[in-house]
Amino acid sequence: MTTSHGPRFSRITGTGSCLPPRKLSNADMVAMLAARGIETSDEWIVERTGIRNRYFVADGCNSSDLAATACRHALEAAGLKADAVDLIVVATSTPDMVFPSTASILQNKLGVHGCAAFDVQAVCSGFVYALTVADAMIKAGSARCALVVGAEVFSRILNFDDRTTCVLFGDGAGAVVLQESAVPGILATDLHADGRHVGILCVPGSVAGGQVTGSPLLTMDGPAVFKLAVGVLEDAARAVLKKAERTEADLDWLVPHQANIRIMQSTARKLRLPLDKLISTVDDHGNTSAASVPLALDVAVRQGRIQRGDTVLLEGVGGGFTWGAVLLDF
């Protein structure tokens, strides 16, 4: 912890994650779609995305439930009880309800009362956005110990008549404990959005007068998203490296949004990072939107790949169109 006279920094002290128990392979998805008269194949999915499996929640399980389990694992890893938390930031595009925030619901499930709790909505960039907000609040002295969470139940907003999107997404949650520190952990952040591209990835529906207006299902222009993502991820990576006065050679690990293996590998190559330094869970998790980065981070930490002192680049890109990066010393 810092002294009252020293500078404030923030550092990740624990990670955690949660996947629902129902695992669907590509073969399961092929059979599900075939029953609806839609053709696809394991080869088609793997070749285009690298995805082999994804996880779906059961009825009655919400984003806050997955988030609560991920948070408990993260707190355990940090050696803390929930009452140490004085800030909760949840990144989600699939909240439990219109309001209150999923963060408030999560706060109650964790038995933490009185601290600030709110949601951040930046779709697949959500965790990077949330981590940036929590870092700023700790550095400003507004908090000392934050839970930063990405949690999603995308299975509930998928159009299972559209094979180009429904095979991509899954459910899950990932969390980190971010604490005030005398030693820099988060080194630099960089966030962006461009609302001109709202239509290429969206769920264009809302609730009005007790009815759903528009469509409550995800729609995506895949080629447009791919084209934008490849460029902006490289730009954000170089921006945080420049802010932190680091170079690509200083990177130990890249943990990008787990959307498509081709986008992820392209980013690594542009940063001249060996592919064995790319953390990839997209094959087993699919695209879990705001949960994908913290899920992948937790997997890599628990596997012993990411170690204390490693320099790690986190990146997200998603609907909005949003993108961003966080550079940190783990």
DSSP state string for 66-117: HHHHHHHHHHHHHT--GGG--EEEEE-SS-SSSSS-HHHHHHHHHT--SSEE
In whole angstroms, what is the distance from residue 91 CA to residue 74 CA?
A: 16
∠ CA 252-127-134 to the nearest 5 degrees? 95
Cβ contacts of 4 within 8 Å, gap of 6 or more: none
The predicted structure's pLDDT at residue 7? 82
The predicted structure's pLDDT at residue 2? 46
In whole angstroms, what is the distance from residue 125 CA to residue 317 CA?
A: 5
Tell the CATH topology of 186-329.
Peroxisomal Thiolase; Chain A, domain 1 (3.40.47)
The predicted structure's pLDDT at residue 99? 97
In whole angstroms, what is the distance from residue 138 CA to residue 10 CA?
A: 6
Please give the single-letter amino acid code of residue 9.
F
Residue 212 scores a pLDDT above 90: yes
Query: Which of 208, 135, 172 lies closest to 299, judged by CA?
Result: 172
**Using CA of residue 161, residue 167, residue 172, residue 177, what is the dihedral sign?**
negative
The predicted structure's pLDDT at residue 4? 53
Query: How many other C-beta atoms are found inside a 10 Å radius of the C-beta of residue 304?
Result: 7
Active site residues: 124, 257, 287
Strands 116-120 and 87-91: parallel
Residue 69 scores a pLDDT above 80: yes
Task: Flag whether the pTM goes above 0.95.
Answer: yes
Per-residue pLDDT, averaged over 242-252, amounts to: 97
The predicted structure's pLDDT at residue 171? 98
**Domains 9-181 and 186-329 alike in fold:** yes
Contact 102, 46 (CB under 8 A): no
Tell the CATH topology of 9-181.
Peroxisomal Thiolase; Chain A, domain 1 (3.40.47)
Per residue in 13-41, pLDDT (tens digit) is: 999 999 999 999 999 999 999 999 999 99
Per residue in 158-192, pLDDT (tens digit) is: 999 999 999 999 999 999 999 999 999 999 999 99
- 5 falls in which pLDDT band (50, 70, 90)? low
- What are the residue boundaries of the structural domains of the chain, listed by start? 9-181, 186-329
The predicted structure's pLDDT at residue 6? 73
